Chains A and B, each alone.
Chain A
Amino acid sequence: MQIFNLADADQGFTAEVEARSHQNVKTCYQCGNCTAGCPYTFAYDYSVSQIMRLVQTGQKEAVLKCRSIWLCGSCQSCTTRCPNKIDVALIMDVCRHMAREEGYATERSVKVFADSFLESVERHGRAYELGLMASYMTRSGRVFTDVDLAPQVLMRGKLPFKPHPIQGREQVARIFERFRKGGKNA
């Protein structure tokens, strides 16, 4: 069991999570409902209610470098079932944003996948599945990802070989451009 020193609390971290999520994390009383319904607990290093407690007690480092925030599937079970109406899934999302901004990527393949996906959207205006796979494999070095599925998918004509660029793709590219200029406050 890991022990956290409450005296090390980074109050600024708690306040930032609250401000960016518009949630009051102080009302979490650790009932564990969120964890009980979370299908991803088996893959987490900290359960979702533990993340809530770590946020409450300002354990910035532990939260930003954990695996859980990268693995949350955004299934909304925690949010839907929290008796204190805390949008817990939103807090997971916000913690992942902050981890990204501060350069953490504890589940690298998850980050690379998201990056490859968005790059595809920025370039074509729509997600281009085959190009996305190629880019993911190159960046992650995981060249054999899903090759077993290729015959199934290709045989059924489910993966167009060409992207579907749209007329507005430059408008979409500008969304990304302006976003990068604006930084985290967009």
Chain B
Amino acid sequence: MLKIAYYPGCSGQGTSLEYDTSTRAVCKALDVELVDIPDWSCCGSTPAHTVNHVLSAALSARNLAQVESMGMTKATTPCPSCLTNLRTASHKMDDPEFKDKVNALLDVPCRNAVDTQSVLQVLAENVDPDLIKGKVVKPLSGIKIACYYGCIMNRPPEVMKFDHHENPMAMDNLMALLGAEVVPFPLKVECCGASYGIPRGDIVHRLSGKLLDAARDVGADAIVTACPLCQMNLDLRQGQINDALRENFRIPVFYYTQLLGYALGIDRAELGFEKLCVDPRLALGRIKQPQQAM
């Protein structure tokens, strides 16, 4: 069994609760043991790196040091924004001078000995697809989905080291494996407007609106994402987007772990479909019921 340190990220405790619970449930079902990092703190998210890179790295490095204290060298997080901060901090601390500046801000120094990956990368690279396939009890056949990775899970490639930076396929392959019809989605790595929802809603309305429009164009019943910020912009703000752009989008936006969990037959309570703002029932209804044994 694969054992790995788990960094849930702040939004997993609030606006993306269902991502956290479904991530934990699918990992358990697929024999990936997530061990919570004790007393983890915020990675600083976007605001920290727009203020100062040493400050930003120190907020991440406190957590990396916590992983080191667990005696582990591998960590994982569902959130691409946390992932970017943790990985960028490690990447920059390869420079000893930078590492010294970071450690000067910390109580417990960070050795920089932890490799952090997204949960998606862990599932894609460490879990045998045949094992997943063997555990599918409710194939996703009948539903057409657009896989949206967001801008930073794979970029820049020298730092993120996962999948392709212009045309990632990990989520597409996973969804196809589960039986869904994956439609080609040209805006896979375009930005949704990031954290500007509050200070500059107009930017998010325009950029996320473009994504919804493209998903409709390719005939998707739903969008599937791996990022809490993307999910919030596309789902929670879909009504605002409709008002701002005089549109009438009604496209549910799932976390990939919710659909994976559905296919694996995980208890609905852990998948949290009722937490989605755009009603997903119509889309879920397209999934054909498995044939009953004669």
Contact = CB atoms under 8 A, between A and B. Distances in A.
Interface stretch (A10-18, A50-58, A150-158): A150-158
A105 B239 CA distance: 30
Interface string A40-75: 101100000000000000000000000000010111
B28 interface: no
B269 interface: no
Given A75-B191, A77-B151, A118 B47 contact: yes
- Specify which of B13, B39, B51, B62 lies most central, judged by the most chain A CB atoms within 10 Å of its CB: B51
Interface string B184-215: 00000111011111111111001100000000
Contacts of B13: 126, 160, 164
A113 B104 contact: no
Interface in A114-173: 114-115, 117-118, 121, 125-127, 129, 133, 136, 140, 145-146, 148-149, 152-153, 156-160, 164, 166-169, 171-172
Interface band, chain B: 35 or more
Interface stretch (A1-9, A28-36, A174-182): A174-182
A125 B55 CA distance: 14
Interface in A84-130: 87, 89, 93, 96-97, 100, 107, 109-110, 112-115, 117-118, 121, 125-127, 129
Given A149-B237, A168-B39, A109 B199 contact: yes
Interface string B42-85: 10111111111111001100100000000000000000000000
Interface residues of A, number: 62
Nearest to B16: A158
A63 to B, nearest CB: 15
Nearest to A146: B198
Contacts of A186: 52, 54-55, 58, 101, 104-105
19 contacts: A39-B190, A74-B50, A74-B152, A77-B151, A100-B51, A113-B195, A114-B50, A117-B47, A146-B201, A149-B240, A172-B41, A172-B62, A174-B105, A175-B55, A179-B54, A179-B58, A184-B52, A186-B52, A186-B55
Interface of A: 39-40, 42-43, 71, 73-77, 79-80, 87, 89, 93, 96-97, 100, 107, 109-110, 112-115, 117-118, 121, 125-127, 129, 133, 136, 140, 145-146, 148-149, 152-153, 156-160, 164, 166-169, 171-172, 174-176, 178-179, 182, 184-186
